[in-house]
Amino acid sequence: MSRIKAQFCLKCGSAMVEAYDTGRPRQTCVACGFVMFVNPVGASAALVLRGDEVLLIKRGIEPFKGHWAVPAGYQEEDESPAATAERETLEETGVRVEAELLLDILFVPDDPRKAANVALFACRAISGEALGADDAAEAAWFALDALPDEIAFDNRELIFDRLAPGGELRKRLDLLSGNGGLGVVD
Ligand SMILES: [Zn+2]
């Protein structure tokens, strides 16, 4: 059963009960039959590289308040995944970026808020200084081999470990730059 539960029907306001529907228990309205399907939410993250440095934000809110992460956020309903990555990076860091390459879809089932599919984009920095803003307390560039200890979510396992030489994400970046190393930014 999903962690997300509605006590009352979103459509008619009647009580919701647990009932089997298409293979698993789901919350179902006793009056109108509305079934609440709970799916992973769409989100985007930005891997912004400058030489061997990466742009990170220090989270100003829970979960993982005070820990560092790549800029990321939830997708608006009228927004493409690439536009989400660009908007979130600008909001959280003040750096304007262009999403260049979809590197991966990161499945994050254990986010305490809700499960998410995170589209991770390699982004090129266009302009702006790194300054924390919005729900980020700080923003800063870190050398990939000198990342802060406190890393939020599964960023270390899902992103940074896979950027090591020979790692899966590194190989994709190398393709983007014609095998010229981390050539996402000039
Ligand atoms: Zn209902």
Does residue 102 fall inside a structural domain?
yes
Tally of domains within the chain: 2
Does residue 101 fall inside a structural domain?
yes
Q: Are residues 71 and 139 in the same domain?
A: yes
CATH number of the domain at 13, please: 2.20.70
pLDDT in tens, 101-127: 999 999 999 888 899 999 999 999 998
**Ion ligand 1 residue ranges (Cβ < 5 Å):** 9, 11-12, 14, 29, 31-32, 34
Specify the pLDDT at position 185. 46
Higher pLDDT, 137 or 98: 98
The catalytically annotated residue of 100, 138, 157, 168 is: 138
Compute how many other C-beta atoms are within 10 angstroms of the C-beta atom of residue 157. Answer: 11
Cα 36 to ligand 1 centroid, rounded to whole Å: 10
Does residue 89 fall inside a structural domain?
yes
Answer yes or no: are the C-beta atoms of 8 and 14 closer than 8 Å.
yes
138 in active site: yes
pLDDT in tens, 40-69: 999 999 999 998 899 999 999 988 999 999
Does residue 66 fall inside a structural domain?
yes
Q: Are residues 3 and 88 in the same domain?
A: no
pTM (two decimals)? 0.86
CATH number of the domain at 54, please: 3.90.79.10
